[in-house]
Amino acid sequence: MNGRFSKMHGLGNDFVVIDAREAPLPMSAGRAQAIADRHAGIGCDQLILIEPSEAADVRMRIFNADGSEVEACGNATRCIPLFLGRDVLIETKAGLLNARLAEGGAVVDMGQPHFEWDRIPLAYAMDTLTMPVGWEHLDAPSAVNIGNPHVIFFGGAMTLDEAARLGAMVETDPLFPERVNVNFAQILSPSHIRLIVWERGAGLTRACGTGACATAGAAIRRGLAKGPVTVSLPGGDLIIDWTQGGSILMTGPATHVFDGEADWERF
């Protein structure tokens, strides 16, 4: 069962993109994990499956490197109009997303963020603007759902090693029944945030589009920032704009690296 794929990335957050609109490809957690393996597979942070949709131009399914299927991926969403060569309405588990081509990448309407504790979701009710919880020296984070769950810590500079250790701890805390993406943010100015993201199911990532959106939204909600906000990740910058009550707009690059062919029965 041979098929073609494209290797793409958004700020170094890399994907194997498979067009399954005409040739369906059954996908399991085990197959996704095998394809994503950087030593024995093709290698990627996320596997992206493009399928037919009755509600939009295409349906996008997203599988993390550990094989788990997730609701949203902002960097992958920017890659889809580049992959298809046109502006596109995308069906995801998080809802319908409009993505349009822009110079060097795309602009995506990521929809409205959700701040209700049961929409994150959390294990029990609490204020999500300044949460009365902490882990070691981390405390008082914010929580946001922007298609997938995020917790955001505002503080000083953090090393990647420390972010990996603390991110792994927080991701699997029982407070987050569906696990959580962990964002470590440093406010540089009201229009500039430095961000490191520990992504559930993938670990440290060079960039996380939904993390940038969630972090900018939480910072604006706290009065720490005002849109548009430049969010600087290890892989580069994203521009996030949000007015409370409206949709979050994300602008950033998307890159096509190469095309290949694989025998999917090997995975």
- Specify whether 213 is catalytic: no
Q: Please, which residues bridge with residue 3 across strands?
A: 262
Q: Residue 134: which residues within 8 A CB-CB, separation 6 or more?
A: 140
Interatomic CA distance for residues 55 and 72, integer angstroms = 17
Could you say which of 44, 73, 79, 213 is catalytic? 73
- Specify whether 73 is catalytic: yes
The beta strand positions in the chain, using DSSP E, are 2-10, 13-19, 46-51, 58-64, 69-70, 88-92, 95-102, 105-109, 134-135, 138-139, 142-145, 149-154, 181-189, 192-199, 203-205, 229-233, 236-241, 249-253, 255-263
Cβ–Cβ < 8 Å for 8, 83: yes
Could you say which of 44, 79, 208, 213 is catalytic? 208
Q: Which residues are catalytic?
A: 73, 208
